[in-house]
Amino acid sequence: MIFLKVEKEEFKRVINDASHLEYNYIHRDLEKITDPKLKDEEVEYLIVNQIHHRLLKSSHKSLFGNKIIIKSIDEKDYKLLRYYVEALSENHYRIK
């Protein structure tokens, strides 16, 4: 079984920002969003299924505690969550 290892700080940032994903999604400014790849179905999947909670429950620290190990079945969801958290957070807080 192959695992995805991510830095502990990155994982914390993604999970913490994911708790604001629904708010950022609802209050996004469509004029400021420059990424055409944002899909409503994917964001709704992340919100409805509370992917950030599932990732918290299923992931664990590495031996030395500096990395978080994510199971391969959750890897795609983590990458999707990270993508949308970064895209929506930037567009919500950054003034262009």
pLDDT for residue 91 is more than 90: no
Sequence letter at residue 93: Y
Provide the pLDDT confidence category of residue 46 given band limits of 50, 70 and 90: very high
Q: What is the per-residue pLDDT across 71-83, written as a single tens digit (0 to 9) for each?
A: 999 999 999 999 9
Are 91 and 28 spatial neighbours (Cβ–Cβ below 8 Å)? yes
Note down the domain range covering 24: 3-93
Provide the pLDDT confidence category of residue 88 given band limits of 50, 70 and 90: confident
CA pair distance 14, 84, nearest whole angstrom: 10
pLDDT of the residue at 84? 93
Name the domain count of the chain.
1
